[in-house]
């Protein structure tokens, strides 16, 4: 009772949320067990050698498999879009998509692709980030003039 992060039972394809600070979390997709060790697929983020000057901070990333507890001991299941979208079939759709992306390097801007986007894309086939949408209303006004002047 009262446990905020109680290590819930995980099922393949569940979105696992690792809180990082009061604004952002890191998200992963539960991949299943290998030799009795539970694994998650997640998007790693490192600064990129190249920069995307239009949108700010570019990140170099890849999808990686790691043991659940390697990313943190506090986590929870957060299948946030289950009420809006059906979860895709893990074994026939999600797992092959994860396997296909592993090891491939991707460069992206943090506002337009992050671990939450990747997790919802795997589980639902929809790219959506609730944490970015909360701060986007503060960012968009700063870009409004640049969009109108076609500088972005």
Domain ranges of the chain: 14-149
Contact 16, 28 (CB under 8 A): yes
Distance CA 114, CA 61 (A): 9
What stretches of the chain show up as alpha helix (H) in DSSP?
95-101, 115-124, 130-148
Distance CA 60, CA 33 (A): 27
Query: According to the model, what pLDDT value does residue 145 have?
Result: 73
Contact 109, 56 (CB under 8 A): yes
| Furthest C-alpha separation in the chain | 57
Q: Are strands 58-67 and 25-34 parallel, antiparallel or unpaired?
A: unpaired
Which pTM does this prediction carry?
0.75
Distance CA 152, CA 90 (A): 38
Distance CA 23, CA 55 (A): 20
Query: According to the model, what pLDDT value does residue 20 have?
Result: 82
pLDDT in tens, the chain (152 residues): 344 555 678 999 999 999 887 777 889 999 999 899 999 998 876 655 555 444 455 566 788 899 999 988 899 999 999 999 999 999 999 999 999 988 777 666 566 667 888 889 899 998 887 767 766 677 667 766 766 777 65
| 14-149 CATH choice from 3.40.50.12240, 3.20.20.100, 3.90.1720.10, 3.40.50.300 | 3.90.1720.10
Query: According to the model, what pLDDT value does residue 44 have?
Result: 77
């Amino acid at each position: 009772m009262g446990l905020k992060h109680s290590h819930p039972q995980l099922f393949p394809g569940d979105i696992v949320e690792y809180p990082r600070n009061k604004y952002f979390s890191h998200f992963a997709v539960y991949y299943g067990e290998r030799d009795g060790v539970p694994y998650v697929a997640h998007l790693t983020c490192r600064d990129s050698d190249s920069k995307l000057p239009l949108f700010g901070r570019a990140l170099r990333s890849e999808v990686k498999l790691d043991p659940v507890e390697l990313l943190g001991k506090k986590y929870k299941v957060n299948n946030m879009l289950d009420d809006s979208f059906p979860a895709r079939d893990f074994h026939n759709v999600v797992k092959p998509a994860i396997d296909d992306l592993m090891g491939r390097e991707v460069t992206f801007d943090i506002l337009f692709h992050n671990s939450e986007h990747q997790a919802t894309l795997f589980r639902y086939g929809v790219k959506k980030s609730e944490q970015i949408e909360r701060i986007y209303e503060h960012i968009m006004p700063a870009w409004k003039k640049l969009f109108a002047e076609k500088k972005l």
